[in-house]
Structure 1
Amino acid sequence: MVAVVELSSGPGTGAAYARAALGMLPGARRGSALPEIEMVHRGVVVDRGHLAAYDRVCGFRLSDTLPATYPHVLAFPLAMRLMTMPEFPLPLIGLVHVANRITVSRPLSADSRLDLSVRAADLRDHPRGRRFDLVTTAAVDGAEVWREVSTYLRVTKPAAAREHAGAATATTPGAATTPGGARTGGALWRVPARVGGDYAAVSGDRNPIHTSRLGARLFGFPRPIAHGMWTAAHALAGLEGRLPPAYTVDVAFKQPVLLPAKPAFTATRTATGWEFALSSKRPHLTGSVIAAAS
């Protein structure tokens, strides 16, 4: 039976990072299974100033309609609270975000009061370690309007961590191949080094691999890397105005984007929505948007 932990206000992430650091100390005890706990925060009101800051950092137009990726940052403190519990089986530090799926049931207005929930599910083995899903939902007036499944991997081999647990398939910058074989032109992103810190400020995700050269080097990266959810958000911003009112976006995170960077973004319209990719010499991200059935 799942125990529901209700929070009357959004928890901060500073204490969670402190707990994460303590969890890395020798002798720290952990559970063997995912905790049967659902973190819930009801009646969350969108701060329009924060929304505007998020829109600017990720490249969205300023609007009262929430980007599909925005509820992720609203629920991030709940996720941190859950994943830094002493009984959580995997340490937070070192987890790799390998995939993300978001389903938008209808456009979300900044006027909506959101009931957010986060729970962990499906801990399973992987050739490079263990992975699990973090399931997050947003409801309005009792009806679910948004759902996210974030897949995280705990790698046990340093080489896998450096590869961001993704496939190392060479691609040609500025071009992508659709299943039908058609190639499309792309747009060159200019991603400054400050993106790591700017996104950390609006998301609350202050993992040092995104903001510190030293922190990045500790995990095998020569310099800070962009947040995966920033790349996903910026990709959707590139399709803004061309997305259906209800859809599912699937993203697979491949090689990290070392900051600063000039990766190539490509997008192709399909019969059901869009396919898109971000690449340099190797792929950083691949994804698709599929419209909901009418």
Structure 2
Amino acid sequence: MTELTGAPNLTALYAKAVATTPTRRGGELPSTEYVRRGIRVDPDHLAAYDRVCGFGLRDELPITYPHVLSFGMSVKLMTDPGFPFPLVGLVHVANRIEQHRPLLLTEELTQRVRVADARPHPKGVRFDVLTETEVDGAVVWRETSTYLRRGPGSGEPSRREVDAGERTATWRVPGDLGRRYAAVSGDRNPIHLNPLAAKAFGFPRAIAHGMWSKARCLAALRLPESCTVEVDFAKPLLLPSTVDFAARRTEGGRDFALTSRSGKPHLLGTVR
């Protein structure tokens, strides 16, 4: 366990990620765990996040907001010398958040981040970034972010079974969304910001952040105070785009989806 006294410098970490990409040759995931205590939420930053993602302004943190608070520690782990994969080119393919109760703007938080469970995938290797958020020593919020390192793979593909029903809303996603979300999240991966960088990784133009897509969908739902929200990120959401949102109540909670106008899924999710 390594304690951090402040948020990592993401600008420096992204520069490091580019410089060290050729040296990443694969191997075992490190056992490092980063811990940051005494985290206080900046009300102005929270309000900016709420506006970009479509949440109302409240003292309760949106269920996706702790992801932003811990993101710097995640990037630090994935740019450390012992991390086997280059950060540049990793694809965020799934995300699971378990919340026992809403976190409050006024609470002091502790966050822990580590990586685990490298495993084969038909398109390469998957692994998880595991995050816990504590209040007064009790874990209130957990997250599993699953990333894909593209390359030779094996195993069977899988996709979440979701029946979200008929469209309930249509959203226009603007071309500058990647830059706007990057400003509040710190996630300045160039595939979200620059069409030339996006083309270098096989996308016709810049794509939206997966965690923006998840947050925007959850902003349209009324979530229970205690719940688990899981999503798979499917087809990349190109910027700009027009997308359809659908949600349907199920016996255990809700199914929801974000799709292109032709019906191809960008995101498939469940609330339980």
- Residue 87 of structure 1, CA deviation: 1.2
Matches within 5 A, 1:46-57: 46-57=41-52
* TM-score under structure 1 length normalisation: 0.87
Alpha-carbon distance in 2 for matches of 1:86, 1:146 = 28
- Residue 31 of structure 1, CA deviation: 6.0
1:42 to 34, 37, 41: 37
Partner of 1:104: 99
Structure 1's 95 and 166: CA in aligned 2 closer, same or farther, altered over 3 A? farther
Matches within 5 A, 1:49-198: 49-156=44-151, 177-178=163-164, 183-198=165-180
Partner of 2:243: 263
Partner of 2:189: 207
CA contact (8 A) 1:166 1:255 kept: no
CA contact (8 A) 2:169 2:246 kept: yes
CA contact (8 A) 1:250 1:288 kept: yes
Alpha-carbon distance in 1 for matches of 2:203, 2:121 = 23
- Residue 166 of structure 1, CA deviation: 8.6
* Number of matched pairs: 265
Partner of 2:253: 273
- Residue 18 of structure 1, CA deviation: 1.0
Partner of 2:208: 226
CA contact (8 A) 2:232 2:267 kept: yes
CA contact (8 A) 1:30 1:87 kept: no
Once the two structures are superposed, residues 108-153 of structure 1 have per-residue CA deviations (whole angstroms, 9 ceiling, x without a partner) of 1011111011000001111211110000010000000000000001
Structure 1 residue runs of 4 or more that deviate by more than 4 Å after TM superposition: none
- Residue 85 of structure 1, CA deviation: 0.7
- Residue 184 of structure 1, CA deviation: 2.5
- Residue 185 of structure 1, CA deviation: 3.2
- Residue 214 of structure 1, CA deviation: 0.9
Partner of 1:249: 229
The letter of the residue matching 1:244 is P
Matches within 5 A, 1:7-18: 7-18=4-15
Alpha-carbon distance in 2 for matches of 1:153, 1:111 = 35
* TM-score under structure 2 length normalisation: 0.94
- Provide the aligned C-alpha RMSD in A: 1.6
Structure 1's 166 and 48: CA in aligned 2 closer, same or farther, altered over 3 A? farther
CA contact (8 A) 2:90 2:147 kept: yes
Identity %: 55
